[in-house]
Amino acid sequence: MPRFFSKLQKKAGSPPGLQIDARVASGAASDICVLTYSKDSFETYHPPDIDAALPLIQKKKTAWIQVTGRHDHFTFSRMGALFNIHTLTLEDMVDPAHPPKFEDFDNYYYVTLKELAFNPENHEISETQVSMAVMENLVIFIQDKPSPCLKAVEKRLETGRGNIRTAGPGYLAYALIDAVVDHSLDVIGQIASAVESVERDMLEDLNPDHLEQIHRLKREVIFFNKQLRPVRGAILSLMKSESPLVPDATIRFYADILDHVNHILDSVTSLQELLSSMLGFYLSAQGNRMNEVMSILTIIATIFIPLSFLAGIYGMNFKFMPELEWRWGYFALLGGMAVIGGAMVVYFKKKGWF
Pick from 321, 345, 309, 169: which is nearest to 245 by CA? 169
pLDDT tens for each residue of 186-236? 999 999 999 999 999 888 888 888 888 899 999 999 999 999 999 999 999
Q: How far apart are CA 314 and CA 311, in angstroms?
A: 5
Who contacts 6 (Cβ-Cβ below 8 Å, separation ≥6)? 97, 98, 99
Pick from 226, 221, 257: which is nearest to 99 by CA? 226
Residue 6 has pLDDT above 70, yes or no: no
**Which residue would you say has higher pLDDT here, 250 or 330?**
250
Q: How many degrees, rounded to 5, is the angle at CA 333 between CA 330 and CA 334?
A: 90
Q: How many degrees, rounded to 5, is the angle at CA 163 between CA 159 and CA 164?
A: 65
The H-or-E segment that residue 318 falls in is none
Residue 123 near residue 223, CB atoms below 8 Å: no
Residue 241 has pLDDT above 70, yes or no: yes
Cα distances from 91 to residues 77, 80, 162, 168, 266, in angstroms, run 9, 10, 35, 27, 33
CATH numeric code, 22-284: 3.30.460.20
Compute φ and ψ for 128, nearest 5 degrees: -135, 135
pLDDT score recorded for residue 7: 54
pLDDT score recorded for residue 1: 44
Q: How far apart are CA 118 and CA 220, in angstroms?
A: 9
Q: How far apart are CA 115 and CA 234, in angstroms?
A: 15
Sheet with 109-119: strands ordered across: 42-45, 31-37, 62-68, 138-143, 124-134, 109-119, 101-104
Neighbour tally for 152: CB within 10 Å: 14
Residue ranges of the chain assigned to CATH 3.30.460.20 = 22-284
Does the domain made of 285-351 have the CATH classification 1.20.58.340?
A: yes
Its pTM stands at: 0.79
Residue 24 near residue 93, CB atoms below 8 Å: no
pLDDT score recorded for residue 112: 94
Q: How far apart are CA 37 and CA 52, in angstroms?
A: 18
Who contacts 124 (Cβ-Cβ below 8 Å, separation ≥6)? 118, 216, 220
Neighbour tally for 215: CB within 10 Å: 12
pLDDT band of residue 60 (cuts 50, 70, 90) is confident
Q: How far apart are CA 119 and CA 38, in angstroms?
A: 38
What b/e readout covers 7-36, taking b as 16+ CB neighbours within 10 angstroms? Answer: eebeeeeeeeebbeeeeeeeeeebebbbbb
Residue ranges of the chain assigned to CATH 1.20.58.340 = 285-351
pLDDT tens for each residue of 7-40? 555 554 455 555 555 445 555 678 999 999 988 8
